[in-house]
Amino acid sequence: MVGNVMRTESLARTIGWTAILAAASVASSQTWPDHLVWADRLVTDIQREGLAGRLDNLDTNQPLNRYGGSFGETYVRIRGHSGHTVSENYSRCASFLTLLLNRVYGWSSTSSTGSASPYAYQYNHLFRDSANLPSSPFQRIEDWNQVQPGDVLAVDYVTPPASGEATGHAFIVRFVDFANGVFDAVSQRTTYDVWVVDCSSSLHTFDTRVLPMATAHGAGRGWISVTANQDGTVAGYRWSLGASDFYDQADRDMKIGRFTNALRSFLEVSGSVAFSNSVVPDLREVRFQVRNGGTEDHTTLVEPGGRGRVWTAVAPGTVEVAVKAPNSLRRTLTGVSLTTGGVQNLAWALTLGDVNDDNTINIADFLQLRAAFGSTPASANWNAGADLNGDRSVNLADFLILRSNFGQAGDA
């Protein structure tokens, strides 16, 4: 984990990550369609398992995340959807999109594209011709300034690569940083950073597929950039931020489509998550509970910049929102007003030291930390809960955190 955190902080100084996340925070009030909610959960689950060193499904011995597969053998399975208890993926860029829309909405691509498993360039053509196709569930978005979370960017590699079978690519938009677009006075074009979810064998900036002990291929999340003309038409894109590989529309035509039959069944619950003792929260696992009579549980990762975000099916009203990391005390906010637009301005300050995850910091935690002292993930006595500062070792720094918070208990 620490490698990802250090890499994030280093790149943040280069491109202004704090500003990007601040802008993302403002834009997050836009309700996501269900397919983006489920896609994001899939990616977060896979990343969380990978950061913990769990790359395979122990029941099948297959990787949790793979890029590839032929029609009929690919799959997208998401924890909490259709009875699945594990999130795992085996698909390509276009089949990932097709399977996702099929699983979430029951949509079949055959009537719209003539194929049960269309390529990315076929999605591009579907968006291009959607106005003349009554059966198409997609609306073409021609003005880049109107792009929303959940929209699909489908690229047709008009000039195919010299080798390989790639004919295009499909991205699902998670966020566009409209507030910090960079205008070029010479070309009269503006370039925007775009947070996307996709299935790929190549990595974007701040990519979730980069793990401490491996680089995964398959479903993930990362940043690309898209350049638009003054009239809002797309001029081209880059696979990663600041890259020199600008792909012009003449070579890689990008069309934008919005799935018009999308549902919006979830409300966003989010805010800042901070930890005691100045520990960086990026990529830490946290558990959200949204309570309104009953309790709805979610496990997620804190986004770079310290934002925690889940999507709830709890109805609008006055709720409680509790947040706990595996080795922190629980903090519960009461009287939270959950509106039809969700709630995005919450804040939790989590106290570290709960090594045994019982919501108190006492002698039992000290004994577990002592037993793991000096260990790393490769050690026989490794205890991830004792690694309080997230540097993948249990040492004096962790002991000092526990000592400073000793005797405290968390909220109910």
| Residue 111 lies inside a defined structural domain of this protein | yes
pLDDT at residue 5, as a whole number: 34
CATH value at residue 330: 2.60.40.4130
Pair 238, 272 in one domain: no
| Residue 7 lies inside a defined structural domain of this protein | no
| Nearest alpha-carbon partner for 191 in 246, 253, 252 | 246
Q: Indicate the residue among 211, 239, 259 that finishes a domain.
A: 259
pLDDT at residue 14, as a whole number: 41
* Coil/strand/helix, residue 135: coil
pLDDT at residue 3, as a whole number: 36
CA–CA distance, 384 with 356 (Å, rounded to integer): 10
| Residue 284 lies inside a defined structural domain of this protein | yes
Pair 311, 245 in one domain: no
| 247-248 and 234-238 strand pairing | antiparallel
Pair 154, 287 in one domain: no
What is the DSSP-derived secondary structure letter of residue 315? P
Backbone angles phi, psi at 14, to 5 degrees: -80, -40
pLDDT at residue 150, as a whole number: 98
pLDDT at residue 405, as a whole number: 98
pLDDT at residue 292, as a whole number: 94
Pair 42, 128 in one domain: yes
| Residue 244 lies inside a defined structural domain of this protein | yes
- The residue segments making up the domain with residue 357 are 267-404
Pair 40, 185 in one domain: yes
User: In the β-sheet with 75-77, what is the strand arrangement from edge to edge?
Assistant: 65-67, 88-91, 75-77
Pair 39, 174 in one domain: yes
Q: Indicate the residue among 259, 280, 301 that finishes a domain.
A: 259
What is the DSSP-derived secondary structure letter of residue 306? T
Pair 215, 249 in one domain: yes
| Residue 71 lies inside a defined structural domain of this protein | yes
Pair 120, 192 in one domain: yes
Q: What is the pLDDT of residues 215-228, one digit of tens each?
A: 889 999 999 999 99
pLDDT at residue 359, as a whole number: 98
Q: Indicate the residue among 199, 231, 259 that finishes a domain.
A: 259
Question: To which H or E segment does residue 84 belong?
Answer: none
| Residue 5 lies inside a defined structural domain of this protein | no
Pair 365, 228 in one domain: no
Burial of 225 from C-beta contacts in 10 A (0-12 / 13-18 / 19+): buried
User: How many distinct structural domains can be found in the chain?
Assistant: 2
- Provide the 10 A C-beta neighbour count for residue 340: 9
Pair 134, 165 in one domain: yes
Residue 385, both tokens = 């809960």
Give me the residues of the chain with pLDDT under 50, please: 1-15, 26-28
| Location of structure tokens 């993926």 | 89
Pair 228, 288 in one domain: no
Asked if 222 and 239 touch (Cβ cutoff 8 Å), the reply is no
Task: Bin 202: left if φ > 0, else alpha if -120 < ψ < 50, else beta.
Answer: beta
Sequence letter at residue 257: G
Pair 49, 89 in one domain: yes
H and E: helices and strands count for the chain: 8, 21
In degrees, rounded to 5, the angle at the alpha carbon of residue 265 between the alpha carbons of residues 260 and 266 is: 120
Backbone angles phi, psi at 235, to 5 degrees: -100, -25
Sequence letter at residue 412: A
pLDDT at residue 63, as a whole number: 95
